[in-house]
Amino acid sequence: MGLLLTTPISRARRLARRVKGDPRSPLAGRTVMVTGASSGIGEATARACAARGATVLLVARRAEALDRVRAEIEAAGGAAYCFPVDLTDGEAVDRLVRRVHAEFGPVDHLVNNAGRSIRRSLELTYDRFHDVERTIAINYLAPVRLTLGLLPAMRAQGFGHVVNVVTWGVQVKSPKFAAYIASKAALDVFGRIAGRETYADGVAFTNLRFGLVRTEMIAPTEAYARLRALTPEQAAETVVKALEDRPVTVDLLSARLLELANVVAPRLTDLAFSLADRAFPDSAAARAGSSGRTAPEVRSPSRD
């Protein structure tokens, strides 16, 4: 039966532990790699996993920020190790995989969290194809390469789990996010297909489709300041539950309803989103970076 009943059994075990007052987590003793671990969701997830007894491998570009996170985790009694890597550098990713396997053996859980968000209308993207290229590089190509590097050892040991932090936009199809959502949708589909191919080996894939999370990534969009959003810590609790339960997807009821509307009444939802598109114009940051290929890029910060 393999993974068929993994999620309901895991949830039942959590309830049993809660009733018994047992603090142990299925993550205790496991190795968890978190990308984009220097800030935001990744940092909060690394802390939460370490607090549950996991050995956390911190991956991001910013070495100093990773050292800070590692030191704070260790000060709290956890175990963490730093791996400063530019995930868009394919050879660097391959070296990371070799080093981790040599020092730690197979990784049990991988959280593909590092990413880039760009909110910019098509009208302002005509001369900015590099927005598409850079978004795909970190949101799709990088996590796929890392996943493919770690998968053989996961399959060989008969256990593994990959959590892809994507977005509810893959269901909603929000205007001004064509480059960002398309890259995340590619990762979402990759995860679903990979999960079917690795099912018999005990390796699960989870697509975590978040709504708004209050991180540096959404700061340049003024309209988001008025909207409700999760804190990084709240988002991290969702990631941890996904790591413990290994569901296929985690998403929002509102996103499911909008996804259904896109199927049942596509033109009507096109009209609704067209009106919303006009009501929420491009941010000042998006407009400032759209004057031409030679203009300095102004974008939302990456989760790395």
Higher-confidence position of 148 and 11: 148
Confidence of residue 73 (pLDDT cuts 50, 70, 90): very high
pLDDT score at 143: 98
Q: Which of 302, 7, 38, 268 is nearest to 161 (CA)?
A: 7
Span 131-159, average pLDDT = 97
Beta bridge partners of 57: 33, 81
Catalytic, 199? Answer: no
Asked whether the predicted pLDDT for residue 14 surpasses 80, the reply is yes
pLDDT score at 299: 39
Among residues 140, 180, 199, 224, which one is catalytic? 180
What pairing do the DSSP bridges indicate for beta strands 55-60 and 160-165? unpaired
Span 92-99, average pLDDT = 98
Q: How far is CA 44 from CA 38, 73, 179, 228, in A?
A: 9, 10, 26, 19
Joined tokens for residue 68:
């800070």
Q: Give residue-wise pLDDT tens across range 107-118.
A: 999 999 999 989
Q: Give residue-wise pLDDT tens across range 180-233.
A: 999 999 999 999 999 999 999 999 999 999 988 877 766 666 666 667 778 999
Q: Chain-wide mean pLDDT for the chain? A: 91
Confidence of residue 125 (pLDDT cuts 50, 70, 90): very high
Q: Give residue-wise pLDDT tens across range 228-270.
A: 778 999 999 999 999 999 999 999 999 999 999 999 999 999 9
Q: How far is CA 122 from CA 134, 179, 182, 269, in A?
A: 16, 9, 13, 19
d(CA 239, CA 111): 8
DSSP at 39: S
What pairing do the DSSP bridges indicate for beta strands 249-250 and 109-112? unpaired
pLDDT score at 222: 60
